[in-house]
């Protein structure tokens, strides 16, 4: 009797992680921190208003009912900034984030004059 075993290579690390590049990046960040620079993490994301809900809450054995605005449409785009793990500011936009919108967010919301980070 033959058993069909599949031999698989055991990986010691994740194949998509570039360990050397990550180490270099972390060293650069630590160097900037030692020099007294403030490290700011920015991110932009968008979400649709009409995303269907796939999960809900209800007592065990009962159907979960909810209210849905079937006419909701469009997207909202968000830009946020973290400093030392603290959410500093968030901007919500109904238009795609382009250079002009990003510049306006940086100069008016994130770091208005005079900028405390400068």
Q: Tally the domains of the chain.
A: 1
Is residue 82 one of the residues assigned to a domain?
yes
Is residue 108 one of the residues assigned to a domain?
yes
Residues of the chain with pLDDT under 50: 1-2
Provide long-range contacts, Cβ within 8 A and 24+ apart, for 94-98: 96/46, 97/44, 97/46
19-33 pLDDT per residue, tens: 888 899 999 999 999
Is residue 104 one of the residues assigned to a domain?
yes
For 105, other C-beta atoms within 10 Å of its C-beta total 21
State residue 55's pLDDT score. 72
Is residue 79 one of the residues assigned to a domain?
yes
Is residue 100 one of the residues assigned to a domain?
yes
Is residue 93 one of the residues assigned to a domain?
yes
User: pTM of the prediction?
Assistant: 0.61
What is the domain extent for residue 97?
A: 38-49+74-112
């Amino acid at each position: 009797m033959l058993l069909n075993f599949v031999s698989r290579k055991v990986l010691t690390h994740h194949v998509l992680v570039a360990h050397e590049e990550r180490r270099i990046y972390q060293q650069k960040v630590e160097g900037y921190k030692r020099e007294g620079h403030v490290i700011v993490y920015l991110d932009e994301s968008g979400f649709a208003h009409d995303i269907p809900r796939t999960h809900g809450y209800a007592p065990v054995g009962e159907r979960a009912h909810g209210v849905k605005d079937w006419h909701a449409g469009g997207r909202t785009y968000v830009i946020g900034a973290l400093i030392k793990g603290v959410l500093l500011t968030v901007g919500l936009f109904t238009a795609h984030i382009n250079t002009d919108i990003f510049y306006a967010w940086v100069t008016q919301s994130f770091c208005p004059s005079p900028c405390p980070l400068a």
